C-alpha cells in the first residue's frame, strides 16, 4: 500500500491517465489529494472546479462523501459507522461484489467492500472529461490473478461517476459468475417527504416477504415503513425527489439492469450496532444492481457497469414535485 502511494505521488503530475492526476499548479487547488482518514485509513479526496468534492477510502474502494458546490453533503454515512477492518463502512457507496446480500455462499454482499483496494498506476482506458478522478484496482489474493479496475470521477458540474470493470482472466478455461451493486446511501431531509420515480409498474422481489415476486402498483414510491425490494429490468434513469430540500437526485446507469430500494426503518435500525436509532429518517438506499440474472464471463470476456449521480433543484407542479422534467431531460 505504501509503495502504491509513493509511486502515485511520484507520477501524479504525469499525463496519460496513469493512476492519479494532480491538476493545477501554483495557487490552484489540486484535483486529487492523498491523505489519511478516520483511524489512519488511506483516502483520496477529489475536488471539482466549482467547489464540489468527493472522498474515497481505499478500504473497500468506498466513496464516503460527495458534496455539491455549496458544500452540502449528498451521501449519508452513519454517525456510528465503524472505520475499522474487517467491518464494512456503514453508508456512502459500498461495492457489493461478487455477491449481493445473502444470495450466495459468500459473506453478506461479498468481499469487495471489506478488502483494501490499490491505486492503479497503469489503468485501462476510461473515457472521461474530468480532471478529478482516481483509478482503483482490487486483487483479492496473490493466487487469484483476476483484477477488478474501478474508477471514481467528479465531473465538471459536480456529478459523481463510477465505472467498474470485471474481466475473467482465468487460464483454466472456467467461467466466472458474479452479482454486483453500487449500494448508494443518499442523504435526505425526511424519509416521509421523499418519493422515487421511474420504478412504477415494474416487477420486484420483496426481501421482507420471502423474496416473493410482485408488481409495483403505485404512481411513485413513498415510504412509511421498512422497505427492501429488488426492482427488475429498470430504466437507465431513476429520480429521487426530496420535497423538503427541493432537490432531486438522478441516477443514470449503464450495464446494470436492476435497482434495489432499502430503508431499515425504526425497529431494524435499533438492532444495528453501526447505525443510529433515528438515522433511518435521513437516508435512503437506491442502488444500481445486477442481481436477478448474475453475470457470467467466459475467459477473456469483460463486463463494464457505470453509474452517474447528479443532484438538481426540483420544480413544483400542482403542489407536488415534478420529476418528469428531470426524467425527460438529457
Marked catalytic residue, from 55, 183, 197, 292: 183
225 is written with which cell numbers? 415503513
183 is catalytic: yes
| CA atoms of 9 and 22, how far apart (whole Å) | 9
- Residue 51's φ and ψ, nearest 5 degrees, are 100, -5
Beta-carbon contacts of 328 under 8 Å, excluding residues fewer than 6 positions away, are none
Marked catalytic residue, from 55, 197, 287, 308: 287
193 is catalytic: no
| CA atoms of 316 and 298, how far apart (whole Å) | 49
| CA atoms of 249 and 234, how far apart (whole Å) | 16
| CA atoms of 75 and 272, how far apart (whole Å) | 19
**Nearest Cα to 330, choosing from 159, 201, 165?**
159
Q: What amino acid positions are annotated as catalytic residues?
A: 183, 287
Amino acid at each position: 500500500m505504501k509503495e502504491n502511494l509513493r509511486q502515485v505521488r511520484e507520477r501524479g503530475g504525469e499525463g496519460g491517465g496513469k493512476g492519479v492526476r494532480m491538476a493545477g499548479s501554483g495557487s490552484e487547488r489540486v484535483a486529487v489529494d492523498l491523505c489519511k482518514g478516520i483511524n489512519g485509513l488511506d483516502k483520496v479526496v477529489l475536488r471539482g472546479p466549482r467547489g464540489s468534492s468527493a472522498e474515497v477510502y481505499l478500504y473497500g474502494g468506498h466513496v464516503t462523501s460527495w458534496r455539491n458546490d455549496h458544500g452540502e453533503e449528498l451521501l449519508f454515512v452513519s454517525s456510528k459507522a465503524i472505520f475499522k477492518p474487517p467491518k464494512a463502512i456503514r453508508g456512502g457507496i459500498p461495492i457489493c461484489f461478487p455477491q449481493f446480500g445473502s444470495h450466495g455462499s459468500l459473506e453478506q454482499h461479498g468481499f469487495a467492500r471489506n478488502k483494501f483496494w490499490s491505486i492503479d498506476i497503469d489503468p485501462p482506458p476510461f473515457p472521461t472529461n474530468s480532471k478529478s478522478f482516481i483509478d482503483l484496482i482490487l486483487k483479492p489474493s496473490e493466487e487469484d490473478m483476476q483484477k477488478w479496475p474501478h474508477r471514481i470521477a467528479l465531473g465538471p458540474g459536480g456529478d459523481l461517476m463510477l465505472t467498474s470493470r470485471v474481466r475473467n482472466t482465468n487460464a483454466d478455461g472456467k467461467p466466472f459468475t458474479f452479482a454486483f451493486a453500487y449500494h448508494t446511501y443518499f442523504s435526505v431531509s425526511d424519509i416521509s417527504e421523499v418519493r422515487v420515480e421511474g420504478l412504477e409498474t415494474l416487477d420486484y422481489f420483496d426481501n421482507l416477504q420471502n423474496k416473493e415476486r410482485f408488481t409495483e402498483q403505485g404512481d411513485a414510491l413513498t415510504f412509511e415503513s421498512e422497505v427492501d425490494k429488488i426492482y427488475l429490468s429498470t430504466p437507465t434513469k431513476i429520480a429521487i425527489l426530496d420535497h423538503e430540500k427541493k432537490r432531486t437526485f438522478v441516477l443514470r446507469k449503464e450495464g446494470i439492469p436492476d435497482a434495489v430500494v432499502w430503508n431499515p426503518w425504526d425497529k431494524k435500525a435499533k438492532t444495528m450496532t453501526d447505525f443510529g436509532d433515528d438515522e433511518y429518517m435521513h437516508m435512503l438506499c437506491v442502488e444500481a444492481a445486477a442481481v436477478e440474472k448474475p453475470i457470467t464471463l467466459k475467459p477473456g470476456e469483460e463486463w463494464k457497469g457505470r453509474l452517474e449521480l447528479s443532484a438538481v433543484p426540483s420544480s413544483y407542479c400542482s403542489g407536488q414535485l415534478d420529476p418528469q422534467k428531470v426524467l425527460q431531460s438529457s
